[in-house]
Amino acid sequence: MRQWLNRMARRVRALIHGPALERELDAEMQHHVAMEADDLMRTQGLAPDEARRRALVAFGGMERYKEAHRDARGVRWIGEFAQDVRYAVRSLLHAPAFSASAVLVLALGIGASTAVFSAVDTVLLSHLPYPHDDRLIRIYEQNSPTNRFGLSVVDFQAIASQAHSLSAVGGVWSLDVAVSSSAALERARAGFATSGFFRALGIRPARGRAIEARDERTGAPPVVVVGHQFAARTFGDDAGAIGRTITIDGTANTIVGVLPAGMRELAGLHAEIWPVLHLDPPTRRGPFGMLVVGRLDKGVTLDAARHELAAISVALLEAWPSFQDHTARLTPVSLREAALGNAGHTLGLLAAAVALVLLIAVANVASLMLVRATGRWREVILRTVLGASRGRLVRLLVTESIVLAAAGAVAGIATGFAGLAVLKAIGPDVPRLDGAQLDARAVAFAVGLALVAGIVVGSYPVVLLLQRDPAPALRDGDRTIGVSRHAHAIRSAFVVAEFALALPVLAGAALLLNSLVRLQRVAPGFDPAHLVALRVALPSARYANDTAIATYWTKALPLVRTIPGVVRAGLGEAMPPDEVTNINNFDLIEHPVPPGGAQPTAPWVMIGHDYFAALGVRLLEGRLFAPADTGAAPVVVVSRAWAERYFPDGRAIGQRLVSGGCTTCPLTTVVGIVGDVKYEGLSGSDDAVYEPLTQGWSRDLNLFVRTAGAPQPVVHRVRTALRSVDPEIPLDDVVPMEDRVYASIAQPRHLTTLLGGFAVAAVALAAVGIFGMLSYMVRMRQREIGVRMALGAPHGAVIRMIVRRGMTHAIAGAAIGLSAALVGTRWLAGALFNVGATDPVTLAAVTVLLLGIAWVACWLPAMRAARIDPVAAIRVE
Amino acid sequence: MNASEDYSMNDRADLLQGTLDLLILKTLVLGPLHGWGISKRIRQLSSEVLDVGQGSLYPALYRLEDQGLIRAEWGVSPEGRRAKFYTLTAAGKKKFASERSEWRLFSGAVDRVLKAT
């Protein structure tokens, strides 16, 4: 061991002091020659010149000994490595087509993988930006494995006062509010938060303080913590914001803190300002909708918290008879899991697809390297015979792969930057993707991939070299046939593998595309052309009650309706096709839910007069709302789907129900049935229950305006009209409903685009793979094909022979890929609409498509084979 | 593949593999010597029969040094020239002892075989 250490130390010294050692060596040789010359002069009486000449001759070439010495001191490889790299670069530059395609393919695979890695790393693997995030939980009300909803004030207060498993608990209500400062009036999303919310998350504002318990006391002055962006936009900087006053929905709030720049959301809730939440003593169990987070006490498990919260849930049912869903439990979920949602699934899908593309890319480059290696087999033989050691040749080949991989890594990292930008632009809507960066970890990942890829693509030529003795090959005049046969078998396997890998990617993309096409064909239930929506949220301070809100709209609506070009204008609380503000539970008198059972739910939409007319939804049965429907005898209109689901016998009109579990309220009667409208996304159900605003006004409404012609000229006048009624109301941008419908399927569209891109890459690579293999085969067998044709084989037979050869590979690969797809695409099931994950038509279609592309890729080299001139081919060799 | 194989293929050593190392160690048992001195001493001791080519001598010296059997130091020769002197290390002495007994066993055996006719 000591000896070994000494030796290493000497080698390191040799490396560092290379030139110095070289000089020493020189001096020693000089000394030897001088001594020899002295000896010759003394013993044989030669003249000094002659003695020196003879001594030099006896010594031989000095350089040779230096070389030997360098070997002995074991540093030669460093110099050789540099030499190898130079050689590899030179020889790669001599084959620009090969090198460019290899680097390009590697860059594609590595770049795409690196981009997806960055996303996965940031979104799934990194911690939430809160201390000890593993102890943070989000608490939901949950009444079925798939249905979770927010908490009520009653729930929150019960947890805050009774749960011992939590060291802190806090809640937020989010609301869009009108914010005015001296600078501007705007609408902003506010998260009204309790002091426990900041305590539980363990965050500190960048400036000032968080909301504290004293701020929650009755009569305490209203305070607000604001986000960095809001502070910067409104006051110029963070420091200037502290102590300033902003008016939130008519109430003056003092800014006490500013959050750090990076915190655009807390616990998954995006909000610009965080005013203190004052909780009034509740009079009933609901409404539900509070986001509640808690911090588990040290050593407390999630299960322990679950038990405790379940016990609290049961006690609450007894204390508050207004809500009697006995299946509903306060359920803790780790905040990480809650924040991620199904991001893991979506990103997993992308990661799987990108991994397959990477494998195909590597197989492709390995295949290219193989051809190159067999082509250079003679060069290798020659070098061996000329005295190059095998080790040296192996190093040469390995270096070439490393150089190739390094180029692939550099190009791959560049591609990764672009890929990540694409991913952020059209990637899945997952939390924190914005923060994904191509950081050191991603670069390390790319380099690691490149290294592994380099080893994989370069290993076969090396194995070939180590297994085979090149000498006999040269002696026998073997024209590399043995080698190329061996290489061809491996290449065939690569091509089969490429097809086997490409098919699942293509199948996945095709299933998503099929699903998207079906989704696009779904009618939203209204005519989006010439229809615009404008969200109007009345500030609570000046519109404190129904009368105030009703007064505003009684003034505003007639003004809007008299604008030339406006055909209809109506109010609605929800925004079709994918924004429902309220999902309500109900109990049908005719089919009551057994005690303790979960009541059915449906999107519950508060609407004004003319809503259906503005949207173009038809009344099918019964009546619409009348001014007399003011809540004394509540009425609802239901969608056709709702009516058919609960009353398939067609007796929905006149049915009565208990709304929202309010057993003490008067019963609600169904008075009409209208056409179906989508509220839960185009893939969602058609259930909907409408209630007139006259039975309960909402401050936050959408004004739907149908115009005669293009909506744009009218929009400005609508805004002017609304401002004339109350200039202090911040107005959102007007959204054409056609855009909303299009935007509602942005997610599936983007996922399809991404996966489609991967599929195109996969199929293209597989096609290039098979094309390359056959082209090479045609070139190698040129003579044989020439002979066949000279003997009378028709062109068709030659083409068939080549194509058959290629298609055997493609079909074998496709068969393997199809079996893999049958298992793998089940993973997509959740993302598909109206298409089975193993939809036979889609799978058959992609198989045919893939084989068709393969056929074209086979046919091209086959045509070239058929054009071989038999005479020339035979004569050439 | 180690680098030393490369030159042993190129080099035509007149000595049996391994014997040169033994001879070098032997010359150094008697005291430190520089490279030329070692080759001279071998020539003298073998009565001019064994002439170690420089092409074999120096690589062997570096190899032995690398193995830690000998140690090299720059010094001044009796003739007043700067020269690199090689000294046997403790490991080298041990190695010499074992190599020598092995060689005796081997050469004796070869001798007996040759005398047997």
Residue A154 pLDDT greater than 60, yes or no: yes
Task: Give the domain range for residue B81.
Answer: 4-115
Query: Residue A486 — pLDDT band, cuts 50, 70, 90?
Result: confident
- From the list B1, B63, B79, the residue facing A391 with the nearest CB is B1
Q: Would you call B58 and A28 a contact, using CB atoms and an 8 Å cutoff?
A: yes
A29: which chain B residues are within 8 Å (Cβ-Cβ)?
58
pLDDT of residue B5: 36
Mean pLDDT value of segment A219-234: 91
Among A45-59, A63-77, A599-613, A654-668, top mean pLDDT goes to: A599-613
- From the list B5, B54, B79, the residue facing A32 with the nearest CB is B54
Residue A497 to residue A356: CA distance in whole angstroms? 10
Cα dihedral A719→A721→A724→A725 (10° resolution): -100
SS3 A269: strand
Q: Would you call A72 and B53 a contact, using CB atoms and an 8 Å cutoff?
A: no
Closest-CA distance of chain B to residue A90, Å:
25
Pick the closest to residue A512 from A800, A680, A754, A225 (CA basis). A754
- Establish if A486 touches chain B: CB-CB under 8 angstroms: no
- Neighbouring C-alpha atoms within 13 Å toward the C-beta of A602: 27
- From the list B4, B36, B68, the residue facing A71 with the nearest CB is B4
SS3 A692: strand
- Among all chains, which residue has been given the structure tokens 């030897």? A32
CATH number at residue B99: 1.10.10.10
Residue of A nearest to B33 (CA): A32
Query: Residue A865 — pLDDT band, cuts 50, 70, 90?
Result: confident
Closest-CA distance of chain B to residue A34, Å:
9
Q: How many domains does chain B have?
A: 1
Query: Residue A566 — pLDDT band, cuts 50, 70, 90?
Result: very high
Mean pLDDT value of segment A662-672: 88
Closest-CA distance of chain A to residue B62, Å:
6
| Residue A600: how many other CB atoms lie within 10 Å | 17
Tokens of A486: 């061996």
- Establish if A391 touches chain B: CB-CB under 8 angstroms: yes
A391: which chain B residues are within 8 Å (Cβ-Cβ)?
1
pLDDT of residue B14: 47
Burial group, residue A631, by CB count within 10 angstroms (0-12, 13-18, 19+): middle
Residue A510 pLDDT greater than 90, yes or no: yes
Pick the closest to residue A763 from A540, A524, A508 (CA basis). A508
Q: Would you call A72 and B3 a contact, using CB atoms and an 8 Å cutoff?
A: yes
Closest-CA distance of chain A to residue B114, Å:
34
Residue A231 to residue A240: CA distance in whole angstroms? 8
CA B34 to chain centre: 12
SS3 A23: helix
Phi and psi angles of residue A550, each rounded to the nearest 5 degrees, phi first:
-60, -40
- Establish if A644 touches chain B: CB-CB under 8 angstroms: no
Q: Would you call B34 and A74 a contact, using CB atoms and an 8 Å cutoff?
A: no
Residue B9 pLDDT greater than 50, yes or no: no
Closest-CA distance of chain B to residue A25, Å:
9
Mean pLDDT value of segment A101-120: 89
Residue A540 pLDDT greater than 90, yes or no: no
DSSP string, A797-857: HHHHHHHHHHHHHHHHHHHHHHHHHHHHGGGGGGG-SSS-TT-HHHHHHHHHHHHHHHHHH
Phi and psi angles of residue A649, each rounded to the nearest 5 degrees, phi first:
-80, 5
Higher-confidence position of A7 and A307? A307
pLDDT tens digits for range A686-737: 999 999 999 989 888 999 999 998 888 888 899 999 999 998 888 877 889 9
- From the list B4, B59, B91, the residue facing A3 with the nearest CB is B91
pLDDT of residue B49: 78
Q: Would you call B58 and A69 a contact, using CB atoms and an 8 Å cutoff?
A: yes
Residue of B nearest to A388 (CA): B6
Burial group, residue A63, by CB count within 10 angstroms (0-12, 13-18, 19+): exposed
Give me the residues of A, 74-113, that contact B with CB < 8 A: 74, 76-77
- Which site among B36, B39, B52 would you substitute to test the A interface, given the most A Cβ atoms closer than 10 Å to its Cβ? B36
β-bridge pairing A601-607 and A735-736:
unpaired
- From the list A10, A69, A389, the residue facing B59 with the nearest CB is A69
- Sign for the CA dihedral angle at A268, A269, A271, A276 comes to negative
DSSP string, A398-417: HHHHHHHHHHHHHHHHHHHH
pLDDT of residue B65: 85
Considering only CA atoms, give the Rg of chain B: 15
Residue A575 to residue A584: CA distance in whole angstroms? 16
Residue A476 pLDDT greater than 60, yes or no: no
- Whole-prediction pTM value? 0.71
Q: Which amino acid is at A291?
A: L
Beta carbons within 8 Å of A226's beta carbon, 6+ residues apart: A234, A241, A246, A255, A257, A258, A259, A272, A273, A274
- Give the C-alpha distances (Å, rounded to integers) separating A863 from A360, A560, A655, B82: 26, 71, 74, 77
Closest-CA distance of chain A to residue B107, Å:
29
Give the A:B interface size as CB pairs under 8 Å.
89
Residue of B nearest to A7 (CA): B66
A390: which chain B residues are within 8 Å (Cβ-Cβ)?
1
Query: Residue A64 — pLDDT band, cuts 50, 70, 90?
Result: low
Burial group, residue B90, by CB count within 10 angstroms (0-12, 13-18, 19+): exposed
Give me the residues of A, 41-60, that contact B with CB < 8 A: 58-60
Residue A643 pLDDT greater than 70, yes or no: yes
- From the list A32, A34, A71, the residue facing B6 with the nearest CB is A71
- From the list A32, A390, A392, the residue facing B36 with the nearest CB is A32
Burial group, residue A281, by CB count within 10 angstroms (0-12, 13-18, 19+): exposed
Secondary structure string (H, E, C) spanning chain B: CCCHHHHHHHCCCCCCCCHHHHHHHHHHHCCCEEHHHHHHHHHHHCCCCCCCCHHHHHHHHHHHHHCCCEEEEEEECCCCCEEEEEEECHHHHHHHHHHHHHHHHHHHHHHHHHHCC
Closest-CA distance of chain A to residue B106, Å:
28
Residue A575 pLDDT greater than 60, yes or no: yes
Angle at A234 between CA A228 and CA A239, to 5 degrees: 55
Give me the residues of A, 505-524, that contact B with CB < 8 A: none
Strand partners, A657: A588, A668
B71: which chain A residues are within 8 Å (Cβ-Cβ)?
none
